[in-house]
Amino acid sequence: MSGLMRLIWYAFLAYVVYAVIRFFSRAGRPNRPQPEAKSRREAGLMVRDEVCDTYLPREDAFRQVQDGKEFFFCSQTCRQKFLEAKKESNRPASPAP
């Protein structure tokens, strides 16, 4: 059993020597800038889709300016539905007979 303990002791000492050498070899060098990881796109301002009431980042939204007001949509389909609804609401009411 003492042979195994001696082996473990030598392995431990070798590791300590390795760690000390590594520490001092890095101490004299200036810090290298770390390579930038792929940056996650930061979520910006969240906007609401006028048709389906979902929220999404402004940079991902489809934009429509109508009557001086800016509207945002999650898809072209929602944008089209909004434009059709606006067109319907802007039509003059047909007179009743």
- The contacts of residue 9 (CB under 8 Å, 6+ apart) are none
| pTM, full prediction | 0.49
For the chain, list the domains and their CATH numbers.
46-90 (2.30.170)
Between CA 50 and CA 32 the distance in angstroms is: 49
Between CA 46 and CA 53 the distance in angstroms is: 12
Residue showing tokens 């770390």:
34
* Digit-coded pLDDT (tens) for 20-77: 998 888 776 666 666 654 444 555 789 999 899 999 999 889 999 988 899 999 999 9
